Each structure stands twice: as C-alpha cells, then as structure tokens.
C-alpha cells in the first residue's frame, strides 16, 4: 500500500496534468465543503470553519513576525482588534455610519499596519524577551483603551461593545442573509466561507512569495543573527518594521472580517489569551512554514468543537460524568503542546525543511 | 498506479460523497414527531450549575406540558428539549444558536449571560424564532429592534433606576461615589444607577473604576475617602465587592455600601466576612418565598430533580411556559403565528405576571432589596412588579 | 495630606509584594538570561497551597494556635513551590539551554498555561476566602490607617530582601551564583556545578514567590487560580524598571511601581479633570515599562548584563 501511495505522490508531484487535476479537485472539494458540512453535521460547522479560516489568517500574519523575522509578539491580537473596531465603528448604528466593506477592510488593514509600526518603532532595539513583554503590554493597552473610551466622549461604546454591525455586501449580495443563485441558496455563513477562503488562499500565496523574496531572506537573516545581517548591509530597522506592518495588516483584515461575521464586537474578544492561542497555532504548526502554520491554525481552531463532541461524551460514558470540561481540556492541551513541541519538535509538527535543519543542528545559533 | 486508477479512485470518492450527502438529506427530510424547544446556557465551566438550573426549569415545564395533553393543530403535541452548551463564551453564543436553528427548534429559552445572549439573538432573529432569556439583563439585548427577543427578568436599566432611587430616597444618600468593574454588566448598571441617582437629587462626587481581575482597591478607595461620600455604589460581581468591603472597613470609610445582583450572593458574604455587615444589595425579581407560586414550585423542583433551586430556574420555567402558552393560543408552533401572540401575552407565572412591553422587556419587572445582617441576606423590600 | 499619606502607604504595601516577586524574575534572569514567565503562577500555587493547608488544619480541630498554623502553611507552601521551581527548570528550561532564545520563552508560556489550568482543576474557578489568621486590625498613622497584616508585609519583605542580599554576597552559594551569572562556562571550569547553582536559584526564587503568595492572599483575604498572571506581569515590569538582573534594582523597581500605580490611580482623575480615570491604572504600568525600555533599557539602577548573544 505504501508503495502505491509513494507512486501516487511522485506522480502528483511530477506530472503537470496531475498538478492541475489535484488543484481542480481540491478546489471543487473546498467549494462544496460548506454544503457537505451543512447537510451532514449542520451549519454550525460552517461557522466553525469560518472562524478557523480567520484564525488561519491571524496565524499567517503572526508567522511573519514570529516565524520569519523571529520577533516574539505576544500582543498580536491588538491588530485584530484594530481591524475589527475599524469595521464595527464605521459600519454600524453606533455612529450612524455605514461605509462599504471595500473601504473598511483596507482602512482596517492600513490602520493596523500603522499600529504595527507604532509598536515596532520604539521596540526595535529590544531583545527577544523584552520585546515579548512589551508587545504583551501593548496588546493590553489597546484593549484597555477600547474598553474605556466610552467616556467622556463615547468612541468605542466601552465594555458594551458595538452591535448590529453591517455584514459585508458585495454588489447587492448581503452576507447577512440567504441569497439564491441558479436555484442554489447560499446562506450568509457560506458566503463568508467563500470570501474567507479566497482571502486565506491569497494571504498564503503572499506569505509563500514573501518567504522566497529578498525581504523574506532578510527576515531570516535577522532571525538567525542580527549583527551579521546588519553587517551584510540589511537595513534591519526598516526590515523589522516591515515585518510588524505586514503581520499587522493581515490581522487587521481578519478583524474586519470577524466584525462582519459576528455582527457584534466587544473588548472581551481581544484578551491576552487570544494572542497566546494564535501563537500556539504558529508554534504547533511550525514556525516559519506557511503550510505548517495553516495546519496548526485549522487544528487548534476546530479543536474545542471537536473536543466538545468527543471528549465530553466519552468521559460521560467512561466515568458517568464530565471530569474535565472541554475548555479546561483545551487549555491543558495548549500548555502541554507548547512545552512538548519545543522540547521534542522545536520546528513544529510540519516544519519547513530549512528550519528543521537549523533547529536540530548541533550548533544552534543564539546559544549561550 | 496510473491515471486510470486515479480516476477510478476519484469516481468512487465522488460517488461515496454523493451517497453520504443523499443519506443525510433523506435523514433531514424525516419529520420528528416531537416539537423541539431549544435551551442554551453554560452547561460546563464555572457557572455550569446555573446553566443546569435553567435547563431543569425548562425541562419541568415541558414535562408538565407533555402530561397535560396539549392539542396543537388538532394533534396531541409532545415537546422535547434540545439543550446546548454555550460555555458563557460570547464566541460560542452564535455557534450554539446556529446549532439550535439547524435543529429547527420552535423556540428558544436562553441564554443565561448577556454576553452570549446578545450575539446569539441575531441568529434567532434572522431565523425568525422566538428567544426568551430567563436571566440576561443587559439592556442592549431587547433594544436591537428584534421582534423575536424577550426576557422575563427586569433589565439592568430597570435595576439601576430602582437602586438609584433607593439610594437617595430610602438610604438618604446625598454624596455618592460610584465604582464599576468595566465589564458590560458592571458598567451598564453603574451608568443607569448614576442617571437615576442624579435624577433623584443625589450628587455623584466621584466615579472610580476597577477590573474583574483585581483584588486591590486601596488606591481608588483612598481617593473616594478623600471625597467623603455617604454611600458607595459598586457595579460588578461578588469576587470584587467581597474583598472591596474588607478594604473599605480597613480604611475606616464609614459610607454605606450598595451593590446590584452581582453582589447579592452567599459568595459575597463569605469573601467580605465580618465586613459585610450592613451592606445593601438588590436582585431582580422577588425571593422564592415571596413569589406567588414559589413554594409549590420549589417542592415540585425538589421532587423531580432531588436538588435545590440554584437561582434562575423559576424564571426559566416561566419563560418556557409563556412560550408554550403563546403556541397554544396560536394553535401553532410556527413562529410567524405565535410571535404576535407572545408579544401581547399576559400570563400568571411562578415569578409573577409575565407580560412584555414593546421592546420585549418584562412589564413592571420587580427588584428586591436586601441587607447583610449576621452573615445572612435579610429581605428588605420589593420595588415595582 | 492624610489622603496622600494613605496613598503612599498603599503604594508601599503593593510595592513590597511586587519587589518580592520581582526578585525571583531578576535572579533567574541574572543567571540564565531567561524570563521565567511561569514565575507568577508559582506565586499563585504558593497562595493556594497555604490556603489548603490552613483549611485542612482548621478542619482537624487540633486547636493549633493561629500563628503556628500560619507558619506550618507557609513552610508547606515554600516546600511545594521550591519543588515546583526545581521541576519547571529541569523539565522546561534545562533541555533548551542551548536552543534559540525563543524556545525557552515559549515553553515558559506553556508552563504558565499548564499551571493555571491545573490549579483551576484542583482548586476550582471560584475566589477562595482566606481565613484571617491574624485579624487585620487597622492602626492609625498620622491620619492614615494601616493594618497589621500590611505592616507584616512590609517588614517581611524588607527582611527577606536583606537576607537575600546577605546570601548572594557573603556565602559560598552566593559567590557561585555570582560567578555563574558572570560567565557560566568559566564558572564551570572553576569547579562550580552550574546545574546545581541554577537549580538553587530557581528554588530560592520560588520560595520567595511562595512567601509573596501567602502574604498577598492573607492581605486581601482571597486567592484564586489566575491571581498569578497579572501579579507576575507587574513584578516583571518592576524588575525591568529597576534593571533586570540587579537585586537592589528589583526592590527599588517594585516599590516605585507600587507607588506609581497607587498615586496614579488615586490622582489621575483629579489631575486630568476626569478625562482619564482609575480605569487606566494598568496602562501606567505598561507605559512605564515601555518608556524605561526605550529610553533606559538597562533600568534605573543599571543592568548587570548587557546584550547577550
């Protein structure tokens, strides 16, 4: 059997027709996925996949900062918050403004990138561990401001959050309700799925192109040895700032999409643990490896839902009651995963070939 | 393994998927005899006991309805509950709501917290299903213009108003300090309290803030001490107000202390210890023994589940019964038919008379006040209702 | 004036605790160049363990006098935390000593999540009431009040810091620690067992964390599973403020941060005419941290180590 698989893999990799066939079939599979899920396990799962795609975008964004450039950012969720609030405030009854999505998504991205630079600029000189704590503080500052800027002037509506956010509306097709096309009805969750899928693929494409670009190699150089990179003529300041800005951009876009999907945002959604969750996805999948990060994000984002359907009933059967509720189990697994992955597979579950070589070679860079 | 083999594989895969799809679709087509009533609340996590309590309230109502041989559309109706766990997590709210909508429930009792109830309400509204929350008190929930959102408990605005009046008129407070915990609940309640207290002629000398993860309030309490208020109001939960009470006593602040339902708990008394003595707190609704049908309900509940009522079960029970009553009157489980009737209903429940205003809030929701005395909450008064 | 004095006292109490916890961060950082993110959780474990011991002893009806009860609880908490600190280093940090800097930082976050979740499973999510072994009687000091528990916190913290300074500067162990911090390789060549020194450092830091946990929980009368996270963050800020790796710096930084927070929360509302209020209390801590790192990365008292490779 394994021989046949290897043969298949070889054929898939080397035959052009096979490549196209593979692309086509995975495209078709992804296109019908929401309908299959809807019909088999319920529309809930389409929503779960929607959120998983958002997390994938976030993880890919964070991967630029952590994986490519090697800068540990623990406040990444702040950019997500910036994107989400930009969209929410300008497309809801809160200010009575209803700007279209094609203004708001780019605006959120730009604003997030701006905040990325604002965060990056003063922290450029900091070492990795200082940077971690400063970014964590930055994330909290953003959240605290969002939570408190309802007085004296009500900007963010404070802890109450912003409600009744307009869903994305493309050429009169509102993502907030069910639309029919050619006799097939597309509920809002499905439409969001397609949009998120397209954007996720786009982000993946950008990341893969970045990885092999001049800029991508500059990031890797900084990650491995900043002083050497500087000596090689890399403008480390600008290159680092670019990493922050680009990472933040993806976060900002994902935030805007989150607003459209949920219709409601409040500061509760942007706490420290969310940053750490996204970091877990990056680390688990494989820092610096786009495919690995996607795998990590999809796994961890669907994990809570999977656990709820498997772990809780299983415990119920085995012990007669639920000892570990799915949420605690998820946290335990997160903690364990971070430790075990770093100890046993520092390059992640699906590492990039180069990163694996670097991390497992006898002389690791940066060792004392 | 060449192209030919692959296409065979693909073909089998496609056929298999199609078959699975067909199977599922046919499964969906089969009509379930029982009418599904949804319940949503935290069934796992820190407030699972409250979620289960609500679930029991709904279950009791449905079981009684099933025993009563209700006829709907000329057929005997049987009701079944579908209960979902939202973990009190705002992100889970819409997911769980979607799950209930997927399952084609005729109506929903839930959710427990405002944080989940509000984002979920949009899903129910889009699906056109009635949602009656037994315990979510955030004002926003019923003020989104959704004709499907109802609640059977007084909201934070109603409570804040009663508290503000009470502070000024009954407790004689002139200079008031307000603290809130920057949560949706605490801030909302504190804002409403401030409005009402000012309207009643009280003066707010300062507004201070803390957080749901804080235990040190000395800095803000000292600042308050400097302003010499005769009453401190706190909008927030017992886990903060308990320790806060101790620090108030330690700093030698003599002002009266008043808080909302987040502090009217046994936990507050434990955390504050001796310092709790004399504190005032409110709670929506009336105590169980003051409810018209409270005693009988408590006995029924105990007999069926063999545990005591935790908190909101009577409200969940009433919410379910109001929903069933509307269905009976409409002679239909179709939301389009029973929703207008539900909006105009007047039903004598365990907790009192249930009728809704134009927003879906309970009309004349009552608020009760309590004072901590000798390590117990002593009932003082009920306002409204 | 008495209000101002009260805020100073509040700040000193708060700051003493920060300082005690900050010492743990700074000792580990001084020797390993590593932020032990899980240190805050050790404080939490200390608080909850001592609480359980007290509850257990109170339940047995042995009629032990309150101070003895407190001492027993403290000793058990210290023991548990030392074991915990030792294990954390062995399991999560030692294997990664030669790995890139990012690696131990990430395992530290993992340990932090793990400890918090385990504590939640063992002790539940609710806030626990800590029995008042010493009744907190308020004393009047020039118009301000301070309870005897608060006095105890300040005194104990001062004593411990003095003891630690003595240990580091006047004992064999202290000399070995300083040597390891200076250059682990050379220290090793000179016959210092580096692994033992590092373990000892973790255990001493954890013992201090246990003391801090017991003091904090008895001061506020509450303990809960996530009390360590914010406290740890603040203490780390304090350590950086004073100059991480620098023992007196941690103390100065802790006290300063306590004062900044207290005075900030107390006066910001009046100073800005109500525009900013006490809800920005946490922002001060983080802003101070960012400012210090940007303008004086070595901290107020200077850092023992400059850039490490």
Q: Render pLDDT for B310-335 as a digit per residue (tens, 0 to 9).
A: 888 999 999 999 999 999 999 999 99
Residues of chain B with CATH 3.40.50.2300: 35-154+289-364, 157-284
**In whole angstroms, what is the distance from residue C207 CA to residue C74 CA?**
10
What confidence score (pLDDT) does residue B1 get? 39
Judged by average pLDDT, the poorest of A36-40, B304-308, C132-136 is C132-136
Contact B219 C261 (CB under 8 A): yes
C-alpha pair distances (Å), A135 with each of A79, A228, A342: 11, 25, 21
Topology given in CATH for the domain delimited by B157-284 = Rossmann fold (3.40.50)
**In whole angstroms, what is the distance from residue C223 CA to residue C150 CA?**
17
Confidence of residue C100 (pLDDT cuts 50, 70, 90): confident
- What are the DSSP calls for B277-343, one per residue? TT-EEEEES--GGGSTTHHHHHHHHHHHHSS---SSHHHHHHHHHHHHHHHHHHTS--HHHHHHHHH
Describe the crossing of helices A101-123 and A236-262 by its angle, rounded to 10 degrees. 140
Q: Is the Cβ–Cβ distance between B259 and B168 less than 8 Å? A: no
**H/E element, B348:** strand B346-348
Per-residue DSSP letter, C94: G
Q: Would you call C8 an interface residue with chain A, using a CB distance cutoff of 8 Å? A: no
- What are the DSSP calls for A247-266, one per residue? HHHHHHHHHHHHHHHHS-B-
Per-residue DSSP letter, B148: T
Confidence of residue A287 (pLDDT cuts 50, 70, 90): confident
pLDDT (tens digit, 9 = 90+) per residue, A313-328?
Answer: 777 777 777 677 777 8
Q: Does position C309 have pLDDT exceeding 50, yes or no?
A: no
Contact A141 C283 (CB under 8 A): yes
CB A107: neighbour CB atoms within 10 A? 18
Contact B182 C230 (CB under 8 A): no
- Those chains having 3 or more beta-carbon pairs within 8 angstroms of chain C are A, B
Task: Determine the distance in angstroms separating the CA of B223 from the nearest CA of chain C, rounded to an integer.
Answer: 5
Q: Choose among C53, C86, C56, C65: nearest CA to C209.
A: C86
Q: What is the residue whose two structure tokens read 């364990």?
A: A336
Confidence of residue C307 (pLDDT cuts 50, 70, 90): very low
Which residues in chain B have Cβ-Cβ distances shorter than 8 Å to A81? none
**In whole angstroms, what is the distance from residue B316 CA to residue B306 CA?**
18
- Those chains having 3 or more beta-carbon pairs within 8 angstroms of chain A are B, C
What confidence score (pLDDT) does residue C87 get? 96
Q: Does position A362 have pLDDT exceeding 90, yes or no?
A: no
Phi and psi torsions of B125, nearest 5°: -60, -45
Which residues in chain A have Cβ-Cβ distances shorter than 8 Å to C309? 366-368
What are the structure tokens assigned to A321, written together? 């009651």
| Mean pLDDT value of segment A160-186 | 82
**Prediction pTM value:** 0.86
| Mean pLDDT value of segment A123-149 | 85
Judged by average pLDDT, the poorest of A319-333, C99-113, C295-309 is C295-309
Q: Is the Cβ–Cβ distance between C231 and C43 less than 8 Å? A: yes
Burial C229-263 (b: 16+ CB within 10 A, else e): bbbbbbbbbbbbbbbbbbbebbbbbbbbbbbbbbb
User: β-strands B231-235, C128-129: how paired?
Assistant: unpaired
pLDDT (tens digit, 9 = 90+) per residue, A236-247?
Answer: 889 999 999 999
- Greatest alpha-carbon pair distance for chain A in Å reads 70
Task: Determine the distance in angstroms separating the CA of A57 from the nearest CA of chain C, rounded to an integer.
Answer: 21
What are the structure tokens assigned to A204, written together? 């993946």
**In whole angstroms, what is the distance from residue A221 CA to residue A235 CA?**
11
What are the structure tokens assigned to C195, written together? 């692994």
pLDDT (tens digit, 9 = 90+) per residue, A192-237?
Answer: 999 999 999 999 999 999 988 999 999 989 888 888 888 888 888 8
Contact B28 A39 (CB under 8 A): yes
- What's the whole-number average pLDDT of chain C? 88
Which residue ranges of chain B lie beneath pLDDT 70? Answer: 1-32, 385
Class (C level, CATH) for B35-154+289-364:
alpha beta
Which residues 121-150 of B are in CB contact (within 8 Å) with A? 122, 126, 138, 140, 144
Q: Is the Cβ–Cβ distance between B124 and B96 less than 8 Å? A: no
Confidence of residue A2 (pLDDT cuts 50, 70, 90): low
- What's the whole-number average pLDDT of chain A? 86
Q: Choose among C41, C267, C127, C254: nearest CA to B244.
A: C127
Contact C127 B206 (CB under 8 A): no
pLDDT (tens digit, 9 = 90+) per residue, C8-52?
Answer: 999 999 999 999 999 999 999 888 888 888 999 999 999 999 999
């Amino acid at each position: 059997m394994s021989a046949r698989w290897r043969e298949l893999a070889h054929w898939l990799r080397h035959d052009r027709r096979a490549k196209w066939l593979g692309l086509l079939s995975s495209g078709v599979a992804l296109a019908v996925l929401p309908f299959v899920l809807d019909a088999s396990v319920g529309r809930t799962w389409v929503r779960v996949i929607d959120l998983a795609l958002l997390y994938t975008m976030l993880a890919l964004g964070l991967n630029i900062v952590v994986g490519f450039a090697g800068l540990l950012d623990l406040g990444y969720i702040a950019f997500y918050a910036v994107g989400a609030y930009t969209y929410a405030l300008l497309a809801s009854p809160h200010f009575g403004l209803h700007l279209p999505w094609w203004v708001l998504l780019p605006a959120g991205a730009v604003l997030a990138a701006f905040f990325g630079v604002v965060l990056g600029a003063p922290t450029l000189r900091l070492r990795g561990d200082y940077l971690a704590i400063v970014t964590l503080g930055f994330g909290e500052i953003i959240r605290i401001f969002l939570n408190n800027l309802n007085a004296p002037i009500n900007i963010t509506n404070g802890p109450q959050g912003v409600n009744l956010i307009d869903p994305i509306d493309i050429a009169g097709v509102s993502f907030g309700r069910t639309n029919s096309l050619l006799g097939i009805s597309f509920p809002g969750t499905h439409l969001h799925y397609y949009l998120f899928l397209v954007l996720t693929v786009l982000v993946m494409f950008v990341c893969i192109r970045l990885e092999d670009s001049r800029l991508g190699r500059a990031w890797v150089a900084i990650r491995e040895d900043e002083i050497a990179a500087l000596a090689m003529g890399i403008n480390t300041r600008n290159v680092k700032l670019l990493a922050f800005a680009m990472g933040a951009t993806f976060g900002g876009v994902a935030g805007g999409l989150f607003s459209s999907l949920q219709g409601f945002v409040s500061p509760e959604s942007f706490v420290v643990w969310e940053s750490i969750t996204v970091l877990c996805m990056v680390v688990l999948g494989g820092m610096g490896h786009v495919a690995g990060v996607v795998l990590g994000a999809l796994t961890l984002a669907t994990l809570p839902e999977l656990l709820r359907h498997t772990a809780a009933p299983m415990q119920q059967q085995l012990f007669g009651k639920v000892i570990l509720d799915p949420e605690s189990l998820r946290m335990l697994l997160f903690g364990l995963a971070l430790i075990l992955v770093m100890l046993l597979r520092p390059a992640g579950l699906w590492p990039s070939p180069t990163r694996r070589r670097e991390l497992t070679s006898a002389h690791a860079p940066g060792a004392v | 393994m060449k192209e030919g083999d692959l296409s065979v594989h693909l073909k089998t895969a496609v056929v298999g998927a199609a078959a699975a799809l067909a199977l599922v679709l046919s499964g969906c087509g089969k009509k379930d005899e029982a009418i599904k009533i949804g319940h949503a609340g935290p069934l796992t996590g820190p407030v699972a006991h409250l979620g289960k309590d609500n679930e029991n309230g709904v279950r009791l109502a449905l079981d009684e309805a099933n025993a009563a041989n209700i006829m709907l559309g000329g057929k005997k109706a049987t009701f079944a509950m579908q209960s979902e766990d939202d973990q009190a997590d705002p992100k889970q709210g819409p997911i769980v709501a979607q799950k209930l909508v997927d399952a084609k429930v005729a109506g929903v009792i839930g959710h427990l917290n405002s944080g989940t109830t509000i984002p979920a309400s949009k899903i129910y509204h889009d699906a056109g299903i009635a949602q009656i929350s037994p315990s979510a008190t955030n004002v926003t929930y019923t003020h989104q213009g959704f004709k499907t959102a109802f609640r059977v408990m007084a909201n934070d605005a109603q409570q804040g108003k009663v508290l503000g009046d009470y502070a000024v008129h009954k407790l004689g407070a002139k200079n008031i300090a307000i603290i809130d915990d920057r949560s949706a609940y605490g801030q909302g309640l504190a804002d409403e309290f401030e409005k009402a207290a000012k309207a009643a002629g009280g003066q707010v000398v300062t507004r201070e803030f803390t957080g749901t993860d804080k235990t040190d309030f000395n800095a803000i309490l000292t600042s308050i001490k400097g302003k010499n208020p005769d009453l401190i109001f706190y909008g927030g939960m017992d886990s903060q107000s308990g320790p806060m009470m101790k620090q108030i006593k330690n700093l030698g602040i003599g002002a009266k202390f008043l808080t909302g339902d987040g502090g009217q708990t046994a936990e507050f008394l434990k955390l504050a210890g001796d310092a709790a003595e004399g504190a005032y707190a409110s709670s929506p609704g009336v105590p169980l023994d003051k409810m018209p049908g409270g005693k009988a309900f408590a006995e029924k509940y105990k007999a069926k589940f063999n545990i005591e009522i935790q908190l909101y079960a009577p409200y969940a029970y009433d919410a379910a019964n109001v929903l069933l009553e509307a269905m009976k009157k409409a002679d239909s489980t179709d939301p389009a038919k029973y929703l207008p009737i539900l909006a105009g209903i007047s039903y004598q429940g365990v907790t009192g008379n249930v009728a809704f205003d134009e927003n879906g809030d309970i009309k004349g929701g009552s608020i009760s006040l309590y004072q901590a005395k000798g390590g117990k909450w002593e009932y003082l008064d009920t306002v409204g209702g | 004036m008495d209000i101002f004095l009260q805020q100073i006292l509040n700040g000193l109490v708060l700051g003493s605790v920060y300082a005690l916890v900050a010492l743990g961060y700074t000792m580990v950082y001084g020797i390993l160049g590593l932020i032990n993110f899980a240190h805050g959780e050790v404080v939490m474990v200390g608080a909850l363990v001592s609480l359980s011991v007290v509850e257990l002893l109170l339940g047995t009806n042995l009629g032990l006098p309150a101070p003895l009860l407190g001492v027993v609880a403290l000793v058990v908490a210290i023991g548990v935390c030392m074991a915990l600190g030792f294990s954390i280093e062995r399991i999560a940090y030692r294997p990664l000593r030669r790995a890139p800097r990012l690696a131990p930082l990430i395992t530290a976050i993992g340990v932090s999540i793990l400890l918090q979740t385990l504590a939640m499973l063992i002790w539940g999510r609710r806030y626990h009431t800590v029995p008042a072994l010493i009744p907190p009687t308020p004393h009047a000091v020039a118009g301000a009040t301070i309870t005897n528990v608060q006095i105890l916190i300040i005194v104990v913290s001062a004593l411990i810091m003095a003891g630690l300074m003595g240990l580091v500067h006047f004992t064999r162990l202290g000399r070995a620690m300083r040597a390891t911090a200076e250059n682990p390789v050379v220290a090793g060549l000179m016959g210092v067992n580096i692994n033992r020194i590092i373990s000892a450092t973790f255990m001493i830091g954890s013992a201090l964390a246990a003391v801090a946990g017991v003091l904090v929980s008895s001061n506020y009368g509450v303990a809960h599973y996530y009390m360590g996270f914010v406290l740890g963050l603040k203490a780390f800020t304090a350590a950086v403020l004073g100059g991480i790796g620098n023992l007196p710096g941690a103390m100065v930084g802790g006290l300063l941060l306590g004062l900044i927070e207290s005075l900030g929360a107390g006066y910001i509302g009046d100073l800005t005419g109500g525009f900013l209020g006490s809800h920005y209390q946490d922002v001060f801590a983080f802003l101070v941290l960012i400012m210090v790192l940007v303008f004086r990365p070595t901290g107020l008292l200077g850092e023992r180590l400059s850039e490490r490779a």
